[in-house]
Amino acid sequence: MNYSNTLAFAQEQDQKDPLRHLKDRFYAPQLNKQDAIYFCGNSLGLQPKSAQAYLDHEMQNWADFAVEGHFKTDTPWLHYHELLTEATARVVGARPLEVVVMNQLTVNLHLMLVSFYRPQGKRFKIITEGGAFPSDQYALESQARFHGYNPDEAVVELFPREGEHTLRTEDILASIEAHKEELALVMMGGINYYTGQVFDMEAITKAGQAAGAFVGFDLAHAAGNVLLHLHDWNVDFAVWCTYKYMNSGPGGTSGVFVHERHAHNAALPRFAGWWGHEVKERFQMKKGFIPMPGAAGWQLSNAQILPMAVHRAALELFDEAGMEQLRAKSEQLTGFLEFLIDEIGADKSQLEVITPRDPQARGCQLSLLVKQNARQLFDLLMEAGIIVDYREPNVIRVAPTPLYNSFEEVYRFAEVLRVCLTGKL
């Protein structure tokens, strides 16, 4: 696409955008008594206006039916999580059998590691990206310790080459090859939360499995952001939260993927709970755990109806938009942002975009490395009514999301950024 650095161009793109009506389905956060420009969907997605009604519906069912709400309503809680399965499968490129919505992200990561990190003898290493989201680091570190290994030896962290900000796929694959005798697991983010780099999940999965390891991804920043084909890529497992790009509310529920080929393997070790037990027998309260087939067999507790009600509203918007259309808009929107930042012509000693320039290697987020006065720049953006996200020590993450952001907002952001960089700072 040929971009042009004018407000008129941005407005014209908005006119042509087949998804522009979706912005109005979300509440706009307020800043200085005005609708803010919100580029922080990577951290907490906006509230769909429809969420309240879904939530109220279950609150009313609870009031009217109490315990009978499990069976007697139009959305019986006993099966409520199943209402989310098909739409979830569409977002991550899975079969319905392969996904379940439950718990929260880090809990689910541990549940998956219980099943798929099975160190034995000298095969005990985990390859992961260096500087992963802290919760993922702590999960891997504590799992290694749990199995009696020293995490400094068990967890192999991959870092970019000297002078580079992102990992090269060839280096990831080379490291898998170099550790192939000792490798138990490859576990990475699908997108690195800090740089916004998308990893080549298909190639990593293939290489990891060829080395005799399981391969899993944390898709916190990928689900609802980029196109995923977890089934076709043959990924063993994946987990994601739903409160970032999936707009399902603070502390919302989480999604899990377990590939179909593990669906009927009852011998796979797991930590079990009654909601994962074969549903036909669940209420017989008998001894002896029989897992449900597929990802559902990892459920522990009865479903969290209230966060799931919000998630249901959010998933409907994904179905309405379609991931392909969202992604098509996203590439243009983020491409426009990149173009406008280039146009500012800031010196590398002042500002550098550390997210890959290749659209296939990023989602909607651009991470700006601000070499001087990063915190001050963040504060100035806020004053101007723009909500982005600041990460210590000096990165500002800007995530125009295709569900509710417009080209005009991207243009306005870049104008403020230009003034800040060339004037006030």
Ligand X SMILES: *Cc1c(COP(=O)(O)O)cnc(C)c1O
Q: Count Cβ atoms below 10 Å from residue 214 Cβ, excluding itself.
A: 24
- Interaction between residue 220 and ligand X (CB under 6 A): yes
Binding mask 163-192 for ligand X (x = CB under 6 A): --------------------------x---
Query: Is the alpha carbon torsion for 9, 12, 16, 22 positive or negative?
Result: positive
Nearest approach in angstroms of CB 351 to ligand X is 24
Residue with tokens 């290697």: 361
CB 44 within 8 A of CB 250: yes
133 in a known ligand binding site? yes
Nearest approach in angstroms of CB 212 to ligand X is 25
Which span sits near ligand X by CB under 6 A: 129-137, 170-178, 319-327, 400-408? Answer: 129-137
- Interaction between residue 401 and ligand X (CB under 6 A): no
User: 101 forms bridges with which residues in the sheet?
Assistant: 255
- Interaction between residue 209 and ligand X (CB under 6 A): no
373 vs 363: CA distance, rounded Å: 26
- Interaction between residue 216 and ligand X (CB under 6 A): no
**Pure H helices in 305-402:** 305-321, 323-344, 374-383
312 vs 54: CA distance, rounded Å: 8
136 in a known ligand binding site? yes
105 in a known ligand binding site? yes
Binding mask 15-34 for ligand X (x = CB under 6 A): --------------------
Alpha carbons within 13 A on the beta-carbon side of 114: 12
Q: Is 166 helix (H, G, I), strand (E, B) or coil?
A: coil
405 vs 22: CA distance, rounded Å: 9
Number of residues that bind ligand X (CB under 6 A): 12
Q: Is 417 helix (H, G, I), strand (E, B) or coil?
A: helix
Which span sits near ligand X by CB under 6 A: 23-31, 101-109, 299-307, 337-345? Answer: 101-109
Nearest approach in angstroms of CB 199 to ligand X is 12
Identify the CA nearest to 313 among candidates 241, 246, 403, 226: 246
- Interaction between residue 299 and ligand X (CB under 6 A): no
Which span sits near ligand X by CB under 6 A: 131-139, 292-300, 335-343, 404-412? Answer: 131-139
Member of 104, 166, 299, 304 binding ligand X (CB under 6 A): 104
DSSP state of 45: P
Residues 133-152 that bind ligand X (CB under 6 A): 133, 135-136
Residue with tokens 């192999």: 156
- Interaction between residue 193 and ligand X (CB under 6 A): yes
Q: Which residues are annotated as part of the binding site?
A: 105-106, 133-136, 218, 221, 243, 274, 302
Q: Which residues are annotated as part of the binding site for pyridoxal 5'-phosphate?
A: 105-106, 133-136, 218, 221, 243, 274, 302
> What is the binding site for ligand X (CB under 6 A)?
104-106, 133, 135-136, 189, 193, 218, 220-221, 241
